[in-house]
Amino acid sequence: MEKIKNGDTSDPLFLVSSYDTKSDKEIVIGFKLDFEGKLKMVSSDITEENVFGDKTGKVAGRNAVYKVDSDGCGNHHKNASCGSRGSIGDVATSGFVAIRTIQIRDKKDSWLSNAQIRFQKVTAGDFDSSNFYTHCGINKASCNLDGDWIAQYSNREVKKGRVVNVNKYLGRKSGDFVLYALYEYDNWPAPKNTFKRNINGADVYVEYRSYQSPYDHNVFTTYKGNRYGVRSRTSYTLDNRAIKYNFN
């Protein structure tokens, strides 16, 4: 819980991000304490202007406001190792394919929450129909859906066009198959999504948790030619209204 606005603490407002399935967007719900000290919903859709006022300077309430949320990366909330304001990376050589830079243009989370950008991937030297590959390994019955942390963006940082140097490993340039999803992570009860392809008789897939569709999902190989019908490449750029990123 984090105080985001000072004010009267005798009747505070508590804000929680939620999801509206009818409008297909994330919203902010407001709660207050009733006479028994229990949280009771007072609004099903609170805007940023409702809390901080509009551009004309109109004041929006004088109560203290608290954010109840779980921004950060899974169990490592606010840990520097799961994201930073500057450059992060784990690839320093030219022998690997890696996601190099990311700029988020569409923060799909509510105004209250920071966007947590993550990715899931499968890499393999080759695919065999006798093996069932997932991002947790071969023949794994269960798998966590947290994905690999990349970066965190606030509304302000999206508007300013912050670019993060990522350098996140995808595969070897000498020969790999790579299947991945780049997405905005949402905590449970957000649904599990699956990006799946059949390669050489093997069902290859990644699973991730998000309310929205991914920024991108793709499959490629760094082998020469069009092996098993998978496109060969060691460089890629996507530049649209939602995201700009590249790998090479």
- Model confidence band, residue 242 (pLDDT cutoffs 50, 70, 90): very high
Q: Residues 15-45: pLDDT tens digits?
A: 988 888 777 788 888 999 988 888 899 988 8
147 contacts: CB under 8 Å, gap ≥ 6: 118, 119, 120, 183, 185, 208, 209
pLDDT of residue 84: 41
Biggest CA–CA distance in the chain, Å, is 70
Is the pLDDT at 119 greater than 80? The verdict is yes
Reference 115, options 75, 79, 162; nearest CA is 162
Query: What six digits make up the tokens of 3?
Result: 């105080």
Q: Residues 164-184: pLDDT tens digits?
A: 898 888 888 888 888 999 999
User: Model pTM greater than 0.85?
Assistant: no
pLDDT of residue 59: 54
pLDDT of residue 218: 92
Reference 88, options 98, 96, 77; nearest CA is 98
- Model confidence band, residue 217 (pLDDT cutoffs 50, 70, 90): very high
1 contacts: CB under 8 Å, gap ≥ 6: 14, 66, 67, 68
Residues 60, 54: Cα–Cα separation, whole Å:
8
| Per-position DSSP letters for the chain, written without gaps between them | -EEEE-SEEEEEEEEEEEEETTTTEEEEEEEEE-TTS-EEEEES---HHHHH--TT------EEEEE----SSTTSTT-GGG--SS---S--STTEEEEEEEEE----S-TTSPEEEEEEEEEES---TT--EETTEES-S------EEEEEE-HHHHHHT-EEEEEEEEEETTS-EEEEEEEEE--TTSPEEEEEEEETTEEEEEEEE-SSPPSEEEEEE-SSS-GGGPPB-S-EEEESSSEEEEE-
pLDDT of residue 159: 87
Reference 81, options 92, 72, 93; nearest CA is 72
Q: Residues 129-146: pLDDT tens digits?
A: 666 666 676 656 566 777
